[in-house]
């Protein structure tokens, strides 16, 4: 995808702050520190458009990014960080639930999982939640550069079994540092959003 323009539209904590756009939206969900912001930067060929942090639980809002005026990426708050209070975790859950229920232009929610670790309880709950909205259930397995190429299939199989995914083609290994499968993810996104991959 040729990125002519990419910008952060808004960081929204409430429904009334969502941008008034009608372009298709692709949302990304995942555990705190799984690499959502790094992936967005890699896909958009920007270094710091999406703010990354070594501190888990940093994304506490829903962040909307517009690409070429044709598409929005939506970065959902990370979940599962133990040091965040239960009240805060419930607030994030409600925030995500409100977004999923109310955003008509949402085309797909893609779950990010760290390829090095088997999905945990929060990952399984999020995946079931995504599937309950009748989304396809795509998973991006991040940090693929951290394990050898020969071991990736074994880790993908672990993810497939843990999340009860029938078709392992729904799982795409990815690395933001080495740009592994950037083109493949763009093909998927453009296909979902029915836009040309130029």
Query: How is the chain split among helix, strand and coil, in percent rounded to 5?
Result: 35, 20, 40
d(CA 133, CA 130): 5
Which of 83-87, 95-99, 130-134 is modeled with the greatest confidence? 130-134
Average pLDDT, the chain: 90
Residues 6+ apart with CB under 8 A from 132: none
d(CA 124, CA 19): 30
Q: What is the pLDDT averaged over residues 118-138?
A: 94
d(CA 33, CA 8): 20
Q: What are the tens digits of pLDDT across the range 109-122?
A: 999 999 999 999 98
Residue 198: predicted pLDDT? 73
Residue 146: predicted pLDDT? 96
| Structure confidence at residue 50 as a pLDDT band (50, 70, 90) | confident
| Structure confidence at residue 145 as a pLDDT band (50, 70, 90) | very high
| Structure confidence at residue 55 as a pLDDT band (50, 70, 90) | low
d(CA 29, CA 73): 11
Q: What is the pLDDT averaged over residues 83-91?
A: 67
Q: What are the tens digits of pLDDT across the range 73-85?
A: 999 988 876 555 6
Residue 96: predicted pLDDT? 87
* Cβ atoms 23, 73 nearer than 8 A: no
Q: What are the tens digits of pLDDT across the range 26-42?
A: 999 999 889 999 999 99
Q: Is the pLDDT of residue 56 over 70?
A: no
d(CA 141, CA 152): 10
* Cβ atoms 33, 78 nearer than 8 A: yes
- Which domains does the chain possess? 6-149+179-193 (3.40.50.300)
């Amino acid at each position: 995808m040729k990125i002519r323009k990419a910008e952060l539209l808004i960081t929204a904590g409430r429904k009334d702050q969502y941008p008034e756009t009608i372009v298709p939206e692709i949302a990304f969900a995942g555990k705190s520190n799984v690499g959502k912001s790094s992936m967005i930067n890699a896909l958009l060929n920007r270094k710091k458009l999406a703010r990354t942090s070594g501190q888990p639980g940093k994304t506490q809002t829903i962040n909307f990014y517009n690409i070429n005026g044709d598409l929005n990426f939506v970065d959902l708050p990370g979940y599962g960080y133990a040091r965040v209070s239960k009240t805060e975790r419930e607030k994030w859950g409600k925030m995500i639930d409100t977004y999923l229920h109310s955003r008509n232009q949402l085309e797909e929610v893609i779950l990010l999982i760290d390829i090095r670790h088997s999905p945990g309880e929060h990952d399984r709950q999020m995946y079931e939640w995504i599937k309950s909205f009748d989304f396809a259930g795509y998973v991006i397995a991040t940090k693929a550069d951290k394990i050898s190429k020969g071991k990736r299939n074994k880790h993908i199989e672990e993810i497939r079994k843990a999340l009860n995914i029938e078709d392992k083609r729904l799982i795409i290994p990815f690395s933001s540092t080495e740009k592994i499968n950037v083109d493949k993810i763009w093909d998927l996104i453009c296909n979902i959003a029915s836009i040309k991959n130029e």
